[in-house]
Amino acid sequence: MTSPSELDPFETHTGRPRSMPAPPPPSPPPAFDNTEAAPVYARFTDTDTMTLPPDPFIARPASRSAGITAQNVSAWFGDHKVLERVSLDMAPNRVTALIGPSGCGKSTFLRILNRMHELVHGAALAGVVELGGTDIYRGNLPVTETRRRIGMVFQKPNPFPTMTIAENVVSGLKLSGMKSTRSYAEIVEDCLVQAGLWNEVRNRLAAPGGSLSGGQQQRLCIARALAVEPHVLLMDEPCSALDPTSTRRIEETIAEICERITVVIVTHNMQQAQRVSQSCAFFLAGENEPGRIVESGPTERLFSEPEDTRTLDYVRGRFG
């Protein structure tokens, strides 16, 4: 266990070695494989999210997805234990949804996966988190590089308001000191297309990021997160503040990017979890007890025939 004193909330590694070791091979096959029930996504035909023909000038990066594994993860805020021995495999190229009522530790778990948890004063954690087989807490990977590889989209859209839309997209490249062979203009277009925002903003890339609507801001944040070429994208209730149209577009974006990136999404919306995810984990915290995973597995099974009655009650909307 890591005691609170060992976690310095102000510690930030500066400078990333220019030559990072190549990402290790993907982790072993996931514990829960859902090959039988391949999900079918509704394809909307509006211009913004139409599947684009392959563009020879935009080289789509090959899959860089890496699985992320948590073993026996516990978490504390001061003396208050919020998570207990949570283990979960989040397989590469899949969408894993974390569901459960408020206060059950889903978001805390998500923030542990990219080392954002330790930024909170008094926060502590125990257990092992591995990205493609590399321990992100005990390994040699600098924390900034860990966070670049494991991107995050937050509940509340947080574009940089003083930057333009285009600057927002490439901000991560500058912040993480990442070198890219592609020009900024290409990256801006590619990432905005992936995030389903390109058609709405193509003529005003120089407008401030704050001038967009909430749903557009959130898609801008997704584009920004994709620009640094993460292996994993964590999404903390990305649609909870958005209208249904924006929600739909973001779900389509998730379906598209999970071909290349591992996605972990926290959601309060049961239908959303069913729509976007292939795997699902149900978190629950008893009264005055830390949160635990009650059940995890293929989304289809968890929603149709869960093993635990509490899961059944939750997914049927009987509580939470």
List interacting residues with another protein (CB under 8 A).
Answer: 8, 10, 12-16, 114, 116, 119, 121, 144-145, 147-149, 151-152, 154, 156-163, 171-172, 174-176, 178, 208-210, 214, 217, 221, 224-225, 228, 241
Shortest spacing between CB 176 and another protein, in angstroms? 3
Shortest spacing between CB 254 and another protein, in angstroms? 17
Nearer to another protein by Cβ, of 88 and 113: the residue is: 113
Nearer to another protein by Cβ, of 125 and 284: the residue is: 125
Nearer to another protein by Cβ, of 58 and 175: the residue is: 175
Shortest spacing between CB 5 and another protein, in angstroms? 11
In angstroms, the CA 314 to CA 249 distance is 26
Q: Vertex 20, ends 151 and 17: CA angle to 5°? A: 100
Nearer to another protein by Cβ, of 92 and 209: the residue is: 209
**In the block, residue with structure tokens 């795997």:** 279
Nearer to another protein by Cβ, of 84 and 190: the residue is: 190
Structural contact between residues 86 and 116, judged by C-beta atoms closer than 8 angstroms: no
Dihedral, CA of residue 179, residue 185, residue 190 and residue 191, to nearest 10: 70
Shortest spacing between CB 136 and another protein, in angstroms? 13
SS3 27: coil
Shortest spacing between CB 172 and another protein, in angstroms? 3
SS3 174: helix
Shortest spacing between CB 7 and another protein, in angstroms? 12
Nearer to another protein by Cβ, of 95 and 232: the residue is: 232
Residue 41, C-beta contacts closer than 8 angstroms, at least 6 positions apart: 252, 255, 275
Nearer to another protein by Cβ, of 157 and 298: the residue is: 157
Nearer to another protein by Cβ, of 127 and 230: the residue is: 230
- Nearest C-alpha neighbor of 240 from the set 220, 267, 265: 267
Structural contact between residues 50 and 193, judged by C-beta atoms closer than 8 angstroms: no
Shortest spacing between CB 158 and another protein, in angstroms? 4
Structural contact between residues 126 and 134, judged by C-beta atoms closer than 8 angstroms: no
**In the block, residue with structure tokens 């005055």:** 288
Nearer to another protein by Cβ, of 175 and 270: the residue is: 175
In angstroms, the CA 133 to CA 111 distance is 19
Q: Vertex 210, ends 9 and 151: CA angle to 5°? A: 40
Shortest spacing between CB 208 and another protein, in angstroms? 7
Long-range pairs of 17-21 with CB within 8 A, sequence gap ≥ 24: 17/142, 20/145
Shortest spacing between CB 284 and another protein, in angstroms? 26
- Nearest C-alpha neighbor of 114 from the set 154, 151, 64: 151
Neighbours of 85 (CB within 10 A): 13
Which pair of tokens denotes residue 153? 């989209």
